[in-house]
């Protein structure tokens, strides 16, 4: 059995703990929980019984000998430092998304994981979704040919002002480290790269901060990326559009895939576009195109439970990870690049200047503190 300690008894942490306590993860057992809030620990005692140890201090839990691995479900900034401490104790780690707030911090986490040699995963549960798994398969198999364009419009993350007003840490540079990119869109940013396996070369983004909501972080984003293979991509996100859209379009030399409304549609060319173009003599001819109904497994693919199970199996059986923790840096780098491009009003090359991003982020945290102090005085 893998004895698991859960750090952070918020909404996601409690959901993970419940799953483990119900025995839904074969080979995994909830051995301990940790949270600085005594009321949450008391609820955990009532919920899980005395057999599950309770800790207010994460370091104490890690050193207790009661656990073999930890699930980290705490605020964004604390993910890397907690994971690094867990690796120092020789523990296996599953961290909630995002991997962190800035890539410099996450890179240190990845290095600690490499040195520890334990199993490190991230809760990218959307990688279990059959729609995105099928798209990844189509891209990897060559069915799409060379990918020339991607376009993801993800504007159905609607959040009213009351959502942001529910906690003083929400939508702040110091509390969350960002807005729609760091809170709502980490899954899409990961899938954008994971399904296509494209490597970004440079990016130009336009983020709007507090445009539609009384917040200090980004609530609307439009980004344009150029890939190393010459292809291009566009990413559009907001929390203030109703009704919203979730449409992911990937166009290659052999056709186009669209994922929308829970369906995957594939328009397949009879011959590739470059081949057709080389032989076409007409003025307005187009390649013959067939709409192919690609079978996709029903359901959502197991989601959080599947990632917990896969991590447990990786520890106990050596099963390959669906979402290796070290890959959390890739989607985060896209997020950091979009903010940095906006802050500097220019293109950002990959890999990004991690020190410059951190400087810009810290400047905004400092400015936020000054505004709050001034408001408190007045």
Domain boundaries, the chain: 2-126+303-324, 127-297+331-365
Give the DSSP letter of residue 290: E
**Is-contact 91 118, C-beta < 8 A?**
yes
pLDDT band at residue 344, thresholds of 50, 70 and 90? very high
Q: Find how far residue 294's CA is from the centre of its chain.
A: 26
Give the DSSP letter of residue 182: I
246 or 300, greater pLDDT: 246
CATH code: domain 2-126+303-324 is 3.40.50.720
- Say what the pLDDT of residue 376 is: 86
- Say what the pLDDT of residue 313 is: 98
- Say what the pLDDT of residue 293 is: 84
**Is-contact 58 89, C-beta < 8 A?**
no
pLDDT, average across residues 118-141? 97
Which of 365, 351, 377 lies closest to 101, judged by CA? 365
195: number of Cβ within 10 Å = 25
pLDDT band at residue 295, thresholds of 50, 70 and 90? confident
DSSP string, 76-94: GGGHHHHHHHHHHTT-EEE
pLDDT band at residue 95, thresholds of 50, 70 and 90? very high
**Is-contact 167 250, C-beta < 8 A?**
no
pLDDT, average across residues 293-312? 92
Percent residues over pLDDT 70 in the chain:
100
pLDDT tens per residue, range 43-59? 999 999 999 999 999 99
- Say what the pLDDT of residue 375 is: 86
Looking at 3.40.1360.10, 1.10.1040.10, 3.30.360.10, 3.40.50.620, the CATH number of the domain 127-297+331-365 comes to 3.30.360.10
Helical residues (DSSP H) of 8-50, grouped into ranges: 11-21, 38-48
Query: Which tokens sit at 30?
Result: 């909830």
Query: Which tokens sit at 124?
Result: 């990218």
Is the C-alpha dihedral spanning 124, 130, 133, 135 positive or negative?
negative
Q: Please, which residues bridge with residue 258 across strands?
A: 249, 265
pLDDT, average across residues 308-317? 98
Q: How far apart are the first and last CA of the chain?
A: 57
Which of 77, 85, 76 lies closest to 5, judged by CA? 85
Q: Give Cβ neighbours of residue 103 (< 8 Å, ≥ 6 apart).
A: 329, 332, 333, 336, 352, 354, 357
Which of 309, 325, 317, 328 lies closest to 114, judged by CA? 325
The SS3 call for residue 51 is: coil
- Say what the pLDDT of residue 208 is: 98
Query: Which tokens sit at 260?
Result: 């929308």
- Say what the pLDDT of residue 168 is: 87
pLDDT tens per residue, range 246-293? 999 999 999 999 999 999 999 999 999 999 999 999 999 999 999 998
Q: Is the pLDDT of residue 299 over 90?
A: no
Q: Is the pLDDT of residue 378 over 80?
A: no
pLDDT band at residue 242, thresholds of 50, 70 and 90? very high
Give the DSSP letter of residue 285: -
Residues 129 and 298: their CA atoms lie apart, in Å, by 9
Residues 79 and 64: their CA atoms lie apart, in Å, by 20
pLDDT band at residue 300, thresholds of 50, 70 and 90? confident
**Is-contact 332 108, C-beta < 8 A?**
no
Quote the mean pLDDT of the chain: 97
Give the DSSP letter of residue 361: H
- What is the tally of helices (H) and strands (E) in the chain? 12, 15
pLDDT, average across residues 224-243? 98
127 or 169, greater pLDDT: 127
Ramachandran region of residue 54, left (φ > 0), alpha (ψ -120 to 50) or beta? beta
Q: What angle do CA 219, 128, 28 make, to 5 degrees?
A: 110
pLDDT, average across residues 72-89? 97
Phi, psi of 33 (to 5 degrees): -130, 155
Q: Is the pLDDT of residue 345 over 80?
A: yes
Query: Which tokens sit at 201?
Result: 């070369």
- Say what the pLDDT of residue 144 is: 97
């Amino acid at each position: 059995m893998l004895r698991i300690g859960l750090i952070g008894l918020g909404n996601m942490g409690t959901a993970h703990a419940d799953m483990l306590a119900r025995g839904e993860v074969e080979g995994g057992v909830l051995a301990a929980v940790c949270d600085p809030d005594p009321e949450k620990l008391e609820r955990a005692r009532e919920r899980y019984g005395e057999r599950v140890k309770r800790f207010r201090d994460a370091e104490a839990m890690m050193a207790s000998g009661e656990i073999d691995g930890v699930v980290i479900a705490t605020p964004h900034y604390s993910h890397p430092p907690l994971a690094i401490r867990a690796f120092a104790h020789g523990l296996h780690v599953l961290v909630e998304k995002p991997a962190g707030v800035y890539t410099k911090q996450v890179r240190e986490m990845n290095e600690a994981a490499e040195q520890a040699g334990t199993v490190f995963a991230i809760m990218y549960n959307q990688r279990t979704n059959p729609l995105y798994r099928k798209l990844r398969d189509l891209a990897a198999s060559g069915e799409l040919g060379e990918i020339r364009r991607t376009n993801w419009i993800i504007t159905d993350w609607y959040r009213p002002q009351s959502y942001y007003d529910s906690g003083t840490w929400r939508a702040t540079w110091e509390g969350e480290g960002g807005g729609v990119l760091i809170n709502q869109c980490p899954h899409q940013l990961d899938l954008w790269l994971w399904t296509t396996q494209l490597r970004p070369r440079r990016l130009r983004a336009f983020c709007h901060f507090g445009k539609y909501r009384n917040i200090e972080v980004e609530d609307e984003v439009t980004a344009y990326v150029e890939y190393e293979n010459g292809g291009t991509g566009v990413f559009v996100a907001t929390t203030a559009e109703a009704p919203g859209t979730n449409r992911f379009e990937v166009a290659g030399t052999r056709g186009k895939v669209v994922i929308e409304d829970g369906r995957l549609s594939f328009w397949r060319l009879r011959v590739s576009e470059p081949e057709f173009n080389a032989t076409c003599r007409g003025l307005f001819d187009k390649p013959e195109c067939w709409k192919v109904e690609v079978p996709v497994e029903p359901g959502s693919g197991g989601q959080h439970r599947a990632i917990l199970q896969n991590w447990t199996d990786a520890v106990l059986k050596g099963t390959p990870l669906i979402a290796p923790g070290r890959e959390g840096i890739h989607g985060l780098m896209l997020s950091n690049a979009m903010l940095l491009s906006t802050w500097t009003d220019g293109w950002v090359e990959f890999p990004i200047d991690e020190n410059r991003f951190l400087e810009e982020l810290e400047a905004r945290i400092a400015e936020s503190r000054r505004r709050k102090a001034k408001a408190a005085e007045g």
